[in-house]
């Protein structure tokens, strides 16, 4: 940067912020600094480096450099939030990942279930060895249905499955039953779905696999990386628990809020976070 550029940028930045004669006085000061620097044999570029950036100087002179700490919410409005489409796409990708993980655990179980059943068919029913088809059916339906079912109903589905299976488990409980394992799978599923986002977002700077692919990120309202506590509050309390308790209503409301002007979903409001694009399109 050269002298003229520096002074011009400084003048533009200061005009309207400070009284005119003060702006003039500052510009005169800086003209004399440039003249003195040149007198010392410095290049205009070197002098600019010594004097710092005009933008930072404007902030120092107008006393706005402390703004980020004090006026937190106003600063966030300046950060463009991620479009809803990307957020939904990220959610879908994450669901798919979870289904794959869950499926990898479930498939060996299904195989062992069928082998046990055919074995039983061969030896005939034994006292205390009953196999209910219910839990398995629900497991399979849940597994296949997950990517297609309305996402908002997922927590509800999981909880209902858990309850149904718990009852079935109680009824079937007896020596040698393998159905007792099924509710454990639902617990596993629920834990997986509950913990995946907060754990991964805590470890990977506010990104899940889906968010990473969509180039979006959860950050704090101050524009800094989201705190671990904020991520847990956002995902576990705001997303999973609230969605489960309200039978999937809050995620729907949440999507509407995210589509709104603030771009902040219900979990965002609970966690004091905002979802932004990691490399936002530059303004022309």
Partner 1 sequence: MDTQLKKGVLAMCILFQIRNQEEYGYEILRRVQAAFPDVYDGSVYAVLRRLGSEGYAQTILRPSESGPPRKYYRITASGQQLLQNYLDDWQDLQRQVRSLGIP
**List of residues contacting partner 1 (CB under 8 A):** 26, 28-29, 31-39, 50-54, 56-61, 65-66
Taking the least distance from each CB to partner 1, the nearer of 33 and 109 is: 33
Taking the least distance from each CB to partner 1, the nearer of 42 and 86 is: 42
CA distance 16 to 35: 26
> Tokens 């869950």, residue?
102
- From the list 137, 140, 121, the residue with the least C-alpha distance to 129 is 121
Taking the least distance from each CB to partner 1, the nearer of 37 and 243 is: 37
CB 28 → partner 1: shortest distance, Å? 5
CA distance 25 to 28: 5
CB contact at 8 A, 193 and 155: yes
Taking the least distance from each CB to partner 1, the nearer of 65 and 176 is: 65
CB 30 → partner 1: shortest distance, Å? 8
CB 222 → partner 1: shortest distance, Å? 15
Taking the least distance from each CB to partner 1, the nearer of 56 and 181 is: 56
CA distance 182 to 184: 5
CB contact at 8 A, 189 and 165: no
CB 3 → partner 1: shortest distance, Å? 11
- Neighbour-count burial for 201-226, b at 16+ CB within 10 Å, e otherwise: bbeeebbbbbbbebebbbbbbbeeeb
Supply 89's token pair: 């796409």
CA distance 114 to 133: 11
CB 60 → partner 1: shortest distance, Å? 4
How many Cα atoms are found within 13 Å in the side-chain-facing hemisphere of 31? 9
CB 18 → partner 1: shortest distance, Å? 10
CB contact at 8 A, 209 and 93: yes
Taking the least distance from each CB to partner 1, the nearer of 66 and 119 is: 66
SS3 218: strand
CB 76 → partner 1: shortest distance, Å? 20
Which is it for the CA torsion 229, 234, 238, 244, positive or negative?
A: negative
């Amino acid at each position: 940067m050269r002298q003229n550029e520096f002074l011009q940028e400084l003048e533009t930045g200061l005009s309207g912020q400070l009284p005119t004669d003060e702006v003039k006085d500052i510009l005169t000061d800086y003209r004399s600094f440039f003249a003195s620097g040149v007198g010392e044999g410095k290049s205009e570029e070197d002098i600019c480096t010594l004097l710092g950036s005009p933008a930072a100087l404007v902030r120092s002179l107008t006393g706005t450099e402390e703004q980020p700490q004090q006026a937190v919410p106003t600063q966030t409005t300046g950060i463009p939030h991620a479009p809803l489409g990307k957020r939904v796409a990220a959610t879908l990708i994450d669901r798919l990942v979870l289904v794959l993980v869950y499926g990898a655990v479930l498939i060996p179980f299904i195989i062992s279930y069928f082998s046990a059943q055919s074995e039983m068919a061969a030896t005939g029913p034994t006292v205390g060895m009953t196999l209910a088809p219910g839990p398995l059916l629900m497991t399979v339906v849940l597994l296949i249905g997950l990517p297609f079912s309305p996402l908002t109903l997922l927590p509800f589905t999981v909880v209902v499955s858990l309850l149904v299976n718990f009852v079935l488990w109680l009824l079937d409980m007896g020596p040698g039953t393998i159905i007792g394992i099924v509710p454990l799978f639902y617990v596993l599923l629920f834990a997986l779905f509950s913990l995946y986002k907060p754990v991964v977002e805590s470890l990977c700077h506010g990104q899940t696999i889906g968010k990473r692919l969509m180039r979006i990120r959860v950050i704090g309202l101050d524009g800094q990386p989201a705190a671990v506590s904020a991520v847990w509050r956002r995902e576990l309390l705001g997303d999973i628990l609230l969605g489960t308790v309200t039978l999937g209503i809050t995620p729907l409301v949440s999507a509407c809020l995210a589509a709104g002007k603030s771009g902040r979903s219900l979990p965002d409001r609970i966690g004091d976070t905002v979802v932004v694009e990691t490399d936002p399109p530059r303004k022309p």
